[in-house]
Amino acid sequence: MIVLGIETSCDETAAAICQDKKIISSQISIQTIHRKYGGVVPEIASREHEKLLNNMVLDTLKDGGISKDQLKGIAVTQGPGLAGTLITGVCFAKGLALGLGLPIIGINHLEAHIFVNFLADPTLNFPFVCLLVSGGHTQLWYVKGLNHYTLMGETRDDAVGEAFDKGARILGLGYPGGPEIEKLAENGNTNAIRFPRAFMGKNNMEFSFSGLKTALLYYMNNQKNTNLNDVAASYQNAIIEVLTTKLLWAMDKTNCDQCVIAGGVAANKSLRKSIKTNLYSKKVIFPDMAHCTDNAAMIAFLGELYLSKKNTSPIDFPILPNLKLT
């Protein structure tokens, strides 16, 4: 079975082809135009998607050696995401599906991030715990099967990706902030500054990063001469310690011996090292680096999985910018 996947939930334009649970072609274009604005401008992102999508899909098919006639379905991100960018991708996918007479599958972006770990390790089985960490979400999930998810905890305020981006802005760094802080932190002392950790009581699975961000702001306002490497390392370490600890609590609570990490922040090397070190007795799966940030491979893979179960969407399905995973 061959499925085309399309992803336009934010500022990455992506297309991929999945054949028999393997990605045979994948392309992604990251919109660097937003860096000068310090964040994603939705209208600009939508226009960039519109410019790129047609040629990207054609190139993806060509690279995979696949003709349009060989496709069995089209999967596209339905939500969550920015309304304008979702509309661009969904309308393109619907037009293509109608023109080719193919079924269409609206995909939950969060669910796709979780399931992309099956590409990293096809031996992964249910149940498992998932730490989902991105620019818009920080959640702990207990995954018992397809469409069987239990939310164990999520952030009360900022997502971890937001904490990195806003922290980077306070430090005068560029966008996106995560890679900028990680780069500075490589040459810093993680214990130079004791920033607060919001554990909120043992075995509490909820997260909060707004206090940490405020502590960083106050620290920088009160320090005229400071080592930014140490600040970045200490700030990042505070985030990672909370994520690692709560993941460990979730593993203990569910008595689960395997976990997956999902979302853009999963690319952080220090987070990977911390989780591997502290969960050394557990099976820990990280997505490939190319599959951490938004990508179409995860959309195509999950789309093929749903199509194999004859689970498709009506052609008039809506975009859902605030779509939840239930």
Nearest to 276 by CA among 285, 267, 268: 285
* Range list of β-strands (E), the chain: 2-7, 12-19, 22-30, 73-79, 104-108, 128-133, 138-145, 148-154, 258-262, 283-285
Predicted confidence at residue 223, as pLDDT, reads 82
Tell me the domain boundaries of the chain. Answer: 2-114+295-308, 125-288
Contact 78/317 with Cβ under 8 angstroms? yes
Distance CA(257)–CA(167), nearest Å, equals 33
Supply the pLDDT for residue 200: 87
pLDDT given at position 108: 98
**Under CATH, which architecture does the 125-288 domain have?**
2-Layer Sandwich (3.30)
Segments of the chain scoring below 70 in pLDDT: none
Amino acid at 216: L
pLDDT given for residue 11 in this prediction: 87
Is the peptide bond prior to 103 cis by the omega test (within 30 degrees of 0)? no
Does 2-114+295-308 match 125-288 in CATH topology? yes
Measured between alpha carbons, how far is 269 from 261 in angstroms, rounded to an integer?
12
Judge if pTM exceeds 0.75.
Answer: yes
Q: The domain at 2-114+295-308 falls in which architecture?
A: 2-Layer Sandwich (3.30)
Task: Determine contact, residues 102/20, Cβ cutoff 8 Å.
Answer: no
pLDDT score of 30: 79
| DSSP secondary structure letters along 195-234 | ------STT---B--HHHHHHHHHHHHH-SS--HHHHHHH
The token duo for 144 is 């018992």
